[in-house]
Each structure stands twice: as structure tokens, then as C-alpha cells.
Amino acid sequence: MLGLPAQSKGKWGSPVTDQGIGARLLRKEDERYMRGRGQFVGDIRLAGMQEVAFVRSPLAHARIKGVRIPPAHRGRVFIAQDLTGVSAIRADTSLPGFKSSLQPVLAADKVRYVGELVALCIAPTRAEAEDVVGEIALDLDPLPVVADMLQARKPGAPMVHEHWGDNLYLTSAIDVDFEAVKAKAAVSVTKELRTSRQVMSPIEGRGVVAQWHSRLGQLIVHTSTQQPHIVRSGLAECLGLDEGQIRVVAPDVGGGFGYKGILLPEEIALAWATRKVGAPLRWIEDRRENLTANANCREHHYILSAYADAEGRLLALDCEATVDSGAYSAYPFSACLEAGQIASILPGVYDFPHYRCRAYSVATNKPPILPYRGVARTGVCFALEVTLDALARKLGSEPNHVRFKSLVRPEQMPFDNIAKRHFDSGDYPEALRRAIEAIGFAGVRERQRRGEPDGRRVGIGFAMYSEQAGHGTSVYAAWGIPFVPGHEAALARFTPDGGLELRIGAHSHGQGLETTLSQVAHSILGVPHERIRLVHGDTATTPYSTGTWGSRCMIMAGGAVAAACDELARRVLAIAAKLLQAKPEEVRLVAGEVVGPAGRIAVADVARTWYRRPQDLPGDVDPGGLEVTAGYKAKRDTGTFSYAAHAAVVAIDPETGELEIMDYVVVEDAGVLVNPMIADGQIIGGMAQGVGTALYEEMRFDAQGQPLAATLSDYLLPGPTEVPEVRIEHMETPSPYTRFGQKGLGEGGAIAPPAAITNAVNDALQGLGAELLVSPITPRRIVEAIARTRPPPQAPAAVESPPGPDGHGLPGA
Amino acid sequence: MKPVAFAYARPASVGEAAQMLAAEPGAKVLAGGQTLGPILNLRLAQPALLIDIARIPELAAVGEDADGATIGATVTHAAIEDGRVPDPTGGFLARVARGIAYRAVRTRGTIGGSLAHADPAADWLSCLSALGTQVYITGATGTRTLELDTFVRGTMETALAKDELLTAVRIPRFSPRARFGFHKICRKAGEFAEAIGVVAYDPESAIYRAVAGATNGRPLVLALRAGVAAKPFTVAEAEHMLQSMRYAGDAYERQLHAAALRRASELAFAP
């Protein structure tokens, strides 16, 4: 009996009628993760393996005049001139006007940011490799540094890539009848907003183990990546090898968030050097490398104007956005993924008639900016939603007044917005209404009127966004970056004993795909979960995929697994019909069994027959058997748009600037949820990162491009005590374009919190006349914003009881 | 981030440890390792020899008498938090200990290590400065006792000579009428303090001290004049105290330290 009982009691206590799509199934992968039995790159030990440490540039901009290597270290230290046959990393886009940067694997003539790789050092242990690093002397000729993106845009600024003539990778622009708004608008606001540079902080950093396998003639690279097939393409391009000569394995990966989607120069350097020295090599990124040189993200600047009519309906946005893209265009997403998307995602969930946006992707002497969960949306949502609240305040209305007047309405769906984004489905006003209800808006306003006994100021804020996910060929062909996603492939096959094996080219590293794709297969074939295995993370054993990014896996890998299982089901039914002596149209798959008019047979028995007793098979059986590779594309590949309304209540201590998130509500719609519990987890995890963006995380650089945080005591991340218990409500409006109506939702939790929290802060401080327009909102920024609203300080007031000679007087004592 | 190679020694006694310190100029003392560990990994410290004192029995010893308690240098924050050692303040030490970093840090971190490291943001430095604490020191040639005020010379600077170890702290006994307040402001739970305010008041021994800690130097201690009311400070009073302490910081930092002082006084004098 393969099928599950029709009704069983789930481990979480509620009755479960189905273990397929929609079930709150506990995650299969947690068995190893929660017991500490995962296997990460750092767990790999190979015979003869040596460790690598890198010499990194201490200067943000300099000419390399020489690298002095003590003779004793010859043969274990390599510099750019040693890397014969290795090409620089090239991540161009085909967007008109894009200027290409070549990112060297090891810097050759110039260094362009602090932490850029200059030399690779090999030793038996990491400590000894670091000893070698300490003995390498760099002869650098400093150049003027440009560390600020607004300075970098100015004429005469030092140039990161001299042959460009300026520091602009790309200028993106859109104008939809903008000038006409000026005659129509009753009110407008203009705000200058900024999001600080951040660092993606997966618990596991990057790590690489590279070895040359002489029998296979193959380079085997174990690397902590979310896109193994893309890493293989990138390695092949840079090393001049055939892709078949490279196998990339991504074992367990301890958090991706976008950082693990990047081809790193470290990966190429190790891949080259392992062949050179004839030993497996390992590099494990440490937290200092992660913070200061590698995982940078998020730095945006906006000058944003919003125009409305007298009723509060949004008429136009006018934006000048600048993104600090750093020194190089990172592979594969390019230097323009952030700024290049701003114009298209800034309109958010709103319908308005006039629009203008210019966005600059700017090169600076800082590490390349990389895509982080939410990508440009976190900054865009912050700029737009904070400005909309300011507009509402100027209109004298509650903040959500402008939102309700301007949201795309459900009857308009599907809706093509002013930037030609195609919203597939949803009810945006309903999400906002539910958030208002759930957070208890009226109660918070009443509480604000009463005031707090402890002197704190309470504020409430909202923010909305939509999240394009699973967008495919048509979108990325227009970008023209090194990969364009096409059909997603999955392999499904029965084992001879009736188990089901699924193989996908994407990677699961926290998304729970080992569970959710099992749910998809279970929904179609009825195989019990304990008999379903997901194989992923190895180019040698999985179909090609662009990998895990853009919240695409539930749509694309889910669709592909379903397509493969559909075909398997067709073949199983055909065999079973013969075995049951029934006509094909008379048999059905029910809970893991094929049921015919006069009998039934377990799917596992069909599998056993195919593999072990082929003599029992019908003569016209499909020779492909019970192994299927199927491809999938959504009916429309412009992506699904999940969306949410976030609501935050904060309390601020005006004396110390301390902030408490008192309540937080997310009303979210990602279409049909395959596993609502995992969806909750995605939202909570994203939310924690959103709180980091909103309140803690800031990677500062000085004017010389020196990073000012090198450890996690300087770069603050929120911990369990800083992340509020979030209350989540789901709406489930199906997408008309995907296999089950599902939408991608992996990033949304990280998009809206900075906007919602900032709006709550500005609501709290409204009575004081203070306003915060920068993330993170630190206690110092709050206190100083309040202080700026006060009249300039006068001479200190006379103290009634001056200090005594021993310096310990007390007034009024 | 891995340390440079170093030698490791585990002396059996304080005397032996002091001899090792005297003999090896590149030696460093390892107790709980909660600061030294990261510093070693970052290669900010590159000692030739680590002298592990964590298992020297006399350094873990505690004792008390009518006048106060002696707490050995390698007693952990967790032991104090859990009330496993004498507390001559009637529970104040345990309350302060509970707020130090995280439990994992408290399980290994030691009171002596905290004082000898003399990080201005450390909780014990501020707390014990308010209590009239003495530190016991042993060197290769003898022992001495210093007031904590004298022992701490500045940011991560102490009076310890190259061959000396801090062996214990001596904390005077307070009367049951004593009141204490400790308020720490930090960006998040377990993070380094941005400001610490401490108030200790004992009408029976005429002790009334306020301390501003987590400044950019040693804790600023203010002995309050007899007759100052034992009640929560006003904002103006707290600001005035900082002025009397010659606190130097920008407007935000001043406001933070004044708030910490005021809130410590509120904790001390809560009805």
C-alpha cells in the first residue's frame, strides 16, 4: 500500500487530508540540519589537500609596481603574471550604453578596492598560509580614491576605469509624459533618501575545494553556490576549458541570499592553481573577507518626488536614483542589476499616469555590489513608501489614504503598469485592509493620543511592494547578461523498488525544496514522502539550470518536476492498464495506486515490473521507461508578482534613540502555497534581514575607501532578541500562468521592513517635526534628528549648585 | 583568520605563571579567552607563548568575611550570575553578571580577565568601580594590592607589570540598606555597551557613588557629597554630574551617558 491514509493526524496537530501541495509538512532536510549532520564545503577533507589564503590589496586605488615574494615561498605563491591562459571575469549586459569592466582574477596593473585579490598563497594549513601572506610585500603607488557614488558622478572625479571617461557603467531612463503632471498636480513632495551599503551575512561564508581529477581529466570544484551550472559556465569561460571538463558540486550551503550566486575570482584562482600544484586546494572565506571585500550590497541614493491630486491620488513619480555598484561588474548579474531595475520597479503596486526616472550605475573604489535578497526592491520600496507617507502627511491625511487611492485594483488584473510590468493577479487593497485590521490601527492611534507612561513615542507604519519572481527568457534576453533562463528541466525516475528520485539543476539551501518538490511529486504520483529523494547541487548528476535566484524555484523547478511527474504518470498508467487488462482511459492514479475497473496495482509494483520483470510488459510499452527529463516554462514568462502589506508599530525612546518593534504584521499573497509553513519561514527569515537593513546593518567606508567594519562587533546584525514575532496572514490568489497557481515569495520578507519601520518611526516623531530618510535608523540618527528640530543651543543654563572643589556638587541637593 | 604559531603552557600555580611571564617577554595570559581568542584569530595579538591560567586552583578560590568577599580571578561571569560565589552586595553582582554579553560568553569569561583587559565597555569595570573594589596582584617578586581606580589607567591599560597577574578582587560588604543601580545602553542584546551608568548607595557606610562607564577611557567615578538626596537624578542633575566627571563626548554621547546615569539612579532608588 503506497497511498497515504485519506486522513491522518499531522505532527503539528491539525488534521491533514493531503501530504501534497498545500500541506504544512515538516521539512525533510531538517533531519540533518537540526542534528548538525549537514555537509558543507568546510567539512570536506581530501587526501593531500592544501589551504589557500590570499594577499589582498590594502589600498582602494593604486598602481601595482611590484609584488615581492621571498624565495623560500616560490612555487606556493602565485600572482597575476603566473595565471597563463586565464581570462578576467566579464559580466556585460547588452543594454545600450553599458561600459564593460574586466574583473581580474588576481589584480595585475591596478587595484581598485581594498580587499581585491593580488596573490594566492598555499600552505598545509590556513594559519601557515596566512603566515606566508604576511611575508609578501606589495609595492603600490597610490591613486586618488573615489569612495562616494555621488562624488563619482561628478566631472573630474578620479576614474575607476580610466578608459571610460567617467564612472558610469550605465544610465537607465524612462519618461512617460512626465511634464504634463505639473499642470495637474495639487501637491507634491521631494525627498532625498539613502540606504547604506550592507554586507550579506549567511552563516556559512563562501568556500571552495578544487581538485584536478587526472583519470576523468576533469576539474572538480566543490563550492558554496546557489547556481552550480552557472559557476561551471563561468569557470569554463575564464579557464579556457570545455564545460565537460568541469564538474561543480554545491554540497549543503549555509544560506545563499544572492551572495552564493556570484562567480568569485577566488573560485577561478583555486581552479587554476590546483592543476598547477597538483594538489587539492581549499579556501574558506573568513568573516573579515566576507565583510570587507566580498559580500557588499544595497547602497542606493534617491531624490524622489511624488505628485498627487487634491484627493490624494498619485499622479506621478519623478526619480533620480544612484547605485554604488563598486569597482567591477560581478558575474553573472552585472553591475546594473540594481540601478537598471529601479525604473521598472519603482512604480510599485500603484497605478498612476505620469512618470520619469533616471538611474545611474556608478563605479567606485569599493567592492562590487552584489544582488541581495530583494535585490533593488528593498531600496526602491523604502524610497517610494517613505515618500508616499510624506505626501500623505502633506495632504493632511492618514498615510494609507494615498495608497488606497492609488493601488492597482483587483478588477484591473492582469495589469500592465506604467513601466510595462505585467502584474498577473491579486487584490492589493484587500491586503492593505487586512494589515490595517490585523495591526489594530485604530487602537494604535488611540494609544498615541493617550501617550506612554514611560515617555516613549509610539508610531505605526505601513509599506507595500510586489515581487517579480520566476521571470524568464523574455525578461533576461532583454538584459543580455551572461545567462538567460529558458526552459527549466527536471528529471524524475522510479527506482526498481518503487522509490522516486527527482533531479533538479537548481539548489536548495534553506528554501525547503527537498520537501516542497516532494510535495509536488506526491500530488501527482502519490508516492509517499519517505520514498521520494531530491538530488541537486551537482552538475554531473543534474540537468542544466540557471540555479536558485529570483524566487524562481517553486515556479520553475516546481513546474519542471510536475512536468516530469506528469509524463511518468502517463507511462505508469499505460503499463498498469495493460497489467490490469483495462483500457487506458479506464485507469486512474489514486493515492499511489493505479485503479482500474476490475483491480488495482501499486505504482511501486509497476516500477518493479518495468525494471525486474520486463517479460510482463506490454509489447508497445514506451521504451523511455520510468525515467523522464522534462522541461517547463510558465505560460507567460514575465514572472509572477507576489505582494504584501507590512505593518509595524514601534516605540521610540527620544532620550536614547532606542527603538522597540512592538508589533509587526505581514499580509502576503504568493498565490497557491505549496507549503504554508515553509512560506512562513521564508517570510520570517527575510523579515530578520529586513530588520537588519532597517535598524542595524551598515558597512561604512572612509574617504580613502577603507572599510570601517572588519568583525561582527563593528557590523551589527540583528539577533533573535531584535527580530519581532511577526504575525503572518496569507491570501492565496492563484497566478494564472504557473502550473499550480503558485508564485515566488523567497525575497519579500526582506523587502518591506525598512520602509514599514521607517514609516512607523516618522509617524512616531511627527509631533516633534523630525523625519528619518536613511537606513539603518540608528539610535544616534534618531537622537540627532530630534536635536535638529530644536532651536540652536544657547549657553548652558546656570547650575543652581555649582560643583564643589571636589567636583561633586548636585543641584538642589 | 587563524593565529600565528604560539607556544602553550599550563602552569600549576600563580607563582609558576608569574615566573613564566617574567621569563618570556612575548607571553600573554589566557583565562576565559573571550577577548583574547578573537584577537589572536585577527592576529592583533601575536604572542610567542600563551599561559593558560584557567586551571590554577588558587585563582578560582573565593572567600568571605564580615568586611567583604574575595573572588578569584578565574571565577566566571556565569558563576556569579548563578550565585555560586559569595556576593557582598546582596545580589547586585548577580544582576550585573546576567547582563554580560551572552550566556556562552559568561560560561567562559572571567571577572579577572575582564578587569585585566580593561575594555571601557566592560560591565565589571564600571560596576566594580562603584563598589570600592581592590585588586590583588602577584608578580615574580611578590604581591601587592591596588584600588581598582588606580589599577585601571586608561583604555585597555592597567598597572600590571609585565610579570604580574591579577589574582583576585576584593569587594567590600554592603549593608542590607544599600541600594544599587546599573543601566547599560547597547545597540542590541549582548553587544558592547555604548553607555553604562552605575549608582551605589549605602547609608550605613556613607558610600554614595555614581559611575559613568563605557566612555572612551577609564570609568568616571563621582563620589557624591554627603547630604545628596538618595533619590532618582533629574536630567539636569545627570548632565551636571557628567560635567563634574569631565566627561568629553559629543552631544549624542553626552545624552546617552546622562540617560544611563539617570536610569541607574531610578533602578537604585525605585520605591
CA A110 vs. chain centroid, Å, equals 31
Say if residue A722's pLDDT is above 80.
Answer: yes
Chain B within 8 Å of A127 (Cβ-Cβ)? yes
Element (H, E) at B113: helix B111-117
Instruction: Give A-chain residues touching B234 at CB under 8 angstroms.
Output: 811-812
Distance from CA of A719 to the nearest CA of B (A): 8
Query: Per-residue pLDDT averaged across A707-734, rounded?
Result: 95
Top pLDDT among A811 and A260 is at: A260
Residue A794: its pLDDT value, please? 62
Instruction: Take residue B113 and report the three cell numbers written for it.
Output: 580577565
Beta strands in A146-226 (DSSP E): 168-176, 187-195, 198-199, 207-213, 218-223
CB contact under 8 A, A803 and B244: yes
SS3 B161: coil
Radius of gyration of chain A from its Cα atoms, rounded to whole angstroms: 29
CB contact under 8 A, A811 and B259: no
- Write the pLDDT tens digit of every residue in B146-192: 999 999 999 999 999 999 999 999 999 999 999 999 999 999 988 99
Distance from CA of A558 to the nearest CA of B (A): 40
CB contact under 8 A, B228 and A813: yes
Distance from CA of A274 to the nearest CA of B (A): 22
* CB–CB contacts below 8 A, A to B: 96
Residue A796: its pLDDT value, please? 52
- Give the CATH fold of the B64-172 domain: 3.30.465
Q: Is the peptide bond before B88 cis (omega within 30 degrees of 0)?
A: no
Instruction: Give B-chain residues touching A657 at CB under 8 angstroms.
Output: 252
Identity of the residue in A130, A719, A803 whose CB atom sits nearest the CB atom of B190: A719
- Write the pLDDT tens digit of every residue in A738-774: 999 999 999 999 999 999 999 999 999 999 999 999 9
Least confident of A444-458, A487-501, A694-708, A789-803: A789-803
| Residue B203: other Cβ atoms inside 10 A | 12
Identity of the residue in B3, B192, B241 whose CB atom sits nearest the CB atom of A127: B3
Residue A618: its pLDDT value, please? 81
Test the A interface: residue of B240, B256, B263 with most A CBs within 10 Å: B240
Q: Using CA atoms, how far apart are residues A563 and A551, in angstroms rounded to an integer?
A: 19
Chain B within 8 Å of A696 (Cβ-Cβ)? yes
Q: Which residues of B touch A (CB under 8 A)?
A: 1-5, 38, 42-43, 185, 187-192, 194, 222-225, 227-229, 233-234, 236-237, 240-241, 243-246, 251-252, 255-256, 259
What are the residue boundaries of the structural domains of chain A, listed by start? 8-38+487-632, 374-469+638-783
Confidence of residue A204 (pLDDT cuts 50, 70, 90): very high
Instruction: Give B-chain residues touching A813 at CB under 8 angstroms.
Output: 225, 227-229
Q: Using CA atoms, how far apart are residues A573 and A590, in angstroms rounded to an integer?
A: 11
Instruction: Give A-chain residues touching B190 at CB under 8 angstroms.
Output: 719
Instruction: Give A-chain residues touching B241 at CB under 8 angstroms.
Output: 808, 810
Strand order in the sheet with B193-202: B179-186, B193-202, B207-213, B220-223
SS3 A796: coil
- Write the pLDDT tens digit of every residue in B119-155: 999 999 999 999 999 999 999 999 999 999 999 999 9
CA distance to A130, B1, B5, B34, B69, per residue, from B40 (Å): 13, 9, 10, 11, 33
Chain B within 8 Å of A586 (Cβ-Cβ)? no
Residue type, A36: G
- Write the pLDDT tens digit of every residue in A564-587: 999 999 999 999 999 999 998 999
* Neighbouring residues of A394: CB distance < 8 A, sequence distance ≥ 6: A187, A189
- Write the pLDDT tens digit of every residue in A651-695: 999 999 999 999 999 999 999 999 999 999 999 999 999 999 999
Domain boundaries A8-38+487-632, CATH class:
alpha beta
Q: Using CA atoms, how far apart are residues A37 and A191, in angstroms rounded to an integer?
A: 50
Residue A793: its pLDDT value, please? 63
Distance from CA of A783 to the nearest CA of B (A): 7
Distance from CA of B189 to the nearest CA of A (A): 7
φ, ψ for residue A146 (rounded to 5)?
-120, 110
Distance from CA of A693 to the nearest CA of B (A): 14
Q: Using CA atoms, how far apart are residues B266 and B271, in angstroms rounded to an integer?
A: 9
Chain B within 8 Å of A799 (Cβ-Cβ)? yes
CB contact under 8 A, B223 and A806: yes
Residue A804: its pLDDT value, please? 38
ipTM score: 0.96
Q: What is the DSSP letter of A41?
A: G
Query: Per-residue pLDDT averaged across B197-211, rounded?
Result: 95
CATH number, domain B7-52: 3.30.43.10
- In contact, A682 and A746? CB cutoff 8 Å: yes
Residue A706: its pLDDT value, please? 98
Residues of chain B with CATH 3.30.43.10: 7-52
CB contact under 8 A, A696 and B187: yes
Identity of the residue in A126, A710, A784 whose CB atom sits nearest the CB atom of B252: A784
SS3 A149: helix
Strand order in the sheet with A659-669: A457-469, A640-652, A659-669, A727-731
Q: Using CA atoms, how far apart are residues B138 and B148, in angstroms rounded to an integer?
A: 15
Chain B within 8 Å of A714 (Cβ-Cβ)? no
CB contact under 8 A, B4 and A131: yes
- Write the pLDDT tens digit of every residue in A312-336: 999 999 999 999 999 999 999 999 9
* Neighbouring residues of A775: CB distance < 8 A, sequence distance ≥ 6: A194, A195, A196, A382, A693, A694, A754, A758
Residue A665: its pLDDT value, please? 98
Of all residues in chain A, the percent with pLDDT exceeding 70 is 95
Query: Per-residue pLDDT averaged across B34-40, rounded?
Result: 95
- Tell me if domain A8-38+487-632 and domain A374-469+638-783 are identical in fold: yes
Distance from CA of A127 to the nearest CA of B (A): 5
So what's the architecture of A374-469+638-783 in CATH?
2-Layer Sandwich (3.30)
Say if residue A466's pLDDT is above 50.
Answer: yes
How many residues appear in chain B? 271
Identity of the residue in A126, A810, A812 whose CB atom sits nearest the CB atom of B224: A810
Least confident of A228-242, A410-424, A615-629: A615-629
Mean pLDDT of chain A: 94
* Neighbouring residues of A285: CB distance < 8 A, sequence distance ≥ 6: A205, A206, A207, A266, A294
Q: Using CA atoms, how far apart are residues B213 and B257, in angstroms rounded to an integer?
A: 8
Q: Using CA atoms, how far apart are residues A753 and A359, in angstroms rounded to an integer?
A: 23
Residue A41: its pLDDT value, please? 98
Distance from CA of A235 to the nearest CA of B (A): 27
- Write the pLDDT tens digit of every residue in A477-501: 999 999 999 999 999 999 999 999 9
Chain B within 8 Å of A656 (Cβ-Cβ)? yes
Confidence of residue A795 (pLDDT cuts 50, 70, 90): low
- Write the pLDDT tens digit of every residue in A593-635: 999 999 999 999 999 999 999 999 988 888 999 999 999 999 9
Say if residue B42's pLDDT is above 60.
Answer: yes
Query: Per-residue pLDDT averaged across A463-473, rounded?
Result: 95
Chain B within 8 Å of A789 (Cβ-Cβ)? no
Say if residue A3's pLDDT is above 50.
Answer: no
Chain B within 8 Å of A283 (Cβ-Cβ)? no
Distance from CA of B34 to the nearest CA of A (A): 13
CB contact under 8 A, A803 and B240: yes
Residue A461: its pLDDT value, please? 98
Residue A808: name the closest of B205, B254, B236, B241 by CA.
Answer: B241
Residue A65: its pLDDT value, please? 98
Chain B within 8 Å of A658 (Cβ-Cβ)? yes
CATH number, domain B179-268: 3.30.390
Of all residues in chain A, the percent with pLDDT exceeding 90 is 93
Say if residue A808's pLDDT is above 50.
Answer: no
